[in-house]
Amino acid sequence: MLRTISMTEAIQVVLFFLFLLLSVIGWLIKRRVDDMDQALLKSNQRGEAAIDRVDNLENRITLVEADMRHLPDKDVTHSLEKAIGDLRTEVSVLSERIKPVAAIADRVQEAMLEKMR
C-alpha cells in the first residue's frame, strides 16, 4: 500500500535531491576549474618560454649589431674599391717597367755564367 508522506518528509526528500544535485554541479565546476588552471599553467609556461626565446634573440641581435659597427660602411667600401683599382693600375705599370730590368738581370746572369765557364 501506498503511504502518504508528510510535508516534512517531502521537503527532506527534495532537499536531499537538491543537495545531491548541487554536489554533482559543484564537482563538475571544480573539475572544470582544475582543467582551466592546468591550461592556464601550460599557457604561462609557454609564455615564459617565448619570453626567454625573445630575450635570447635580443641578446644575439645586440651582439650582431656590435660586430657590424666594426664593418666599413658603403662610403668606406667604395673608397677601398677605388683605392684597389688605383693599386691595380700602378702594379700593372710597375710590371711593365720591371720587364726591361728583368731582361738586363737575365743578360748579366748569362754573362757571369759565361765568364765562369
Q: How far is CA 98 from the centre of its chain?
A: 55
Structural domain contains residue 1: no
Query: pLDDT at residue 113 above 90?
Result: no
Number of domains in the chain: 2
CA distance 110 to 117: 11
For residue 1, pLDDT over 70 is answered with no
To the question of pTM greater than 0.95 for the whole model, the response is no
Q: pLDDT tens, 37-66?
A: 999 999 999 999 999 999 999 999 999 999
Same domain, 58 and 105: no
Confidence at residue 116, expressed as pLDDT on a 0 to 100 scale: 87
Mean per-residue pLDDT of the chain: 92
Are 65 and 13 in the same domain? yes
pLDDT value at position 75? 92
**What is the extent of the structural domain holding 33?**
7-71
Classify residue 52: in a domain, yes or no. Answer: yes
Cβ atoms of 72 and 80 within 8 Å: the answer is: yes
Percent of the chain predicted with pLDDT > 90: 74
Cell of 14: 527534495
**Grid-cell match 700602378, residue found:** 90
Same domain, 112 and 64: no
- pLDDT at position 88 over 80: yes
| The length of the chain, given as a count of residues | 117
> Are 38 and 54 found together in one domain?
yes
